[in-house]
């Protein structure tokens, strides 16, 4: 009990739930970044501010969560790297790294690469942890199924044993002495039997 309490914080830090919360925060921030980028790009396409904001938000949320789904379910290992590179470019656009100079440009590039790398690592950890959870669930289900099959096999064996005992009992009851009620395995054994009748 003491050991479990000592590692409670560590277990929470390394848990799938914490990773999931962080990934959701990352996806929400990704949606915000996309929203601002889309608002900038769509300024000349959609002149009305409210429709532009609504369309930008909806597209950003859809794209952000789609990227998460693709990262998890697509088996191609290059997809997460591609998403990370695109995230870095998007941040470079948002930070106006192409128009700034000097230290500001260096900070913009550094932050873009750092945030994209953290996002990539978060999604990778999430995918690995979720995969481990699915493997554990599958292993537990297989063990339960195996135990069930073994119990079913034992139950069938017991049923067969019961049937055999009932058959032997039925056979033994077919030949019994009418006087002393002793059961016999065959008619010959019964014929050879000599007994004293039960006194009433």
Highest mean pLDDT among 7-16, 49-58, 165-174: 49-58
What does the alpha-carbon distance between residue 31 and residue 70 come to, in Å, rounded to a whole number? 15
State the pLDDT at residue 183. Answer: 67
Mean local confidence (pLDDT), 116-142:
84
| Res 199: pLDDT | 52
79 pLDDT exceeds 80?
A: no
Task: Give the C-alpha distances (Å, rounded to integers) separating 179 from 57, 133, 168.
Answer: 98, 72, 22
- Does residue 161 register a pLDDT over 60? yes
**pLDDT score of 123 more than 60:** yes
| pLDDT score for 2 | 46
**Statement: residue 27 has pLDDT above 80:** yes
User: How many Å apart are CA 4 and CA 88, to the nearest integer?
Assistant: 41
Q: Around Cβ 105, how many Cβ atoms within 10 Å?
A: 16
Structure pTM? 0.62
- Give the pLDDT band of residue 23 (cuts 50, 70, 90): confident
User: If you write DSSP's letter for every residue of 165-193 in order, what string do you get?
Assistant: HHHHHHHHHHEE-TTT--EESSHHHHHH-
The three-state secondary structure class of 197 is: coil
* Cβ atoms of residues 68 and 123 within 8 Å: yes
Residues in contact with 197: Cβ distance below 8 Å, sequence separation at least 6, in sequence order: 179, 180
pLDDT of residue 172: 60
Mean pLDDT confidence for 77-102: 82
pLDDT at 1: 46
Distance CA 149, CA 157 (A): 12
Question: Is residue 34 over pLDDT 80?
Answer: yes
Average pLDDT on 106-123 reads: 86
How far apart are alpha carbons 59 and 45 in whole angstroms?
Answer: 15
Other Cβ atoms within 10 Å of 137 Cβ, number: 10
Q: 71 or 116: whose pLDDT is higher?
A: 116
Average pLDDT over residues 9-38: 82
Instruction: Provide the pLDDT for residue 131.
Output: 80
User: What are the Cα distances from residue 130, in Å, to 17, 45, 68, 95, 108?
Assistant: 10, 41, 13, 33, 33
pLDDT of residue 132: 83
Extents of the domains making up the chain: 2-137, 170-200
Contact partners, residue 189, CB within 8 Å, separation at least 6: 175
Q: H helices within 42-101, ranges in order?
A: 49-73, 78-94
């Amino acid at each position: 009990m003491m050991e479990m309490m000592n590692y409670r914080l560590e277990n929470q830090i390394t848990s799938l739930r914490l990773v999931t919360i962080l990934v959701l925060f990352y996806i929400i921030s990704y949606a915000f970044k996309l929203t601002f980028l889309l608002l900038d790009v769509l300024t000349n396409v959609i002149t009305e501010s409210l429709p532009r904001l609504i369309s930008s938000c909806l597209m950003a949320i859809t794209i952000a969560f789609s990227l998460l789904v693709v990262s998890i379910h697509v088996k191609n290992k290059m997809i997460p790297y591609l998403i990370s590179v695109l995230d870095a470019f998007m941040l470079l656009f948002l930070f106006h790294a192409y128009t700034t100079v000097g230290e500001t440009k260096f900070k913009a590039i550094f932050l873009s690469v750092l945030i994209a790398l953290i996002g990539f690592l978060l999604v990778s950890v999430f995918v690995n942890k979720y995969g481990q959870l699915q493997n554990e669930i599958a292993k537990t289900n297989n063990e339960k199924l195996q135990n069930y099959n073994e119990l079913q096999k034992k139950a069938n064996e017991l049923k067969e044993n019961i049937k055999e005992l009932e058959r032997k009992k039925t056979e033994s009851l077919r030949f019994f002495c009418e006087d002393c009620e002793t059961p016999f395995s065959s008619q010959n054994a019964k014929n050879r039997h000599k007994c004293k009748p039960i006194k009433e």
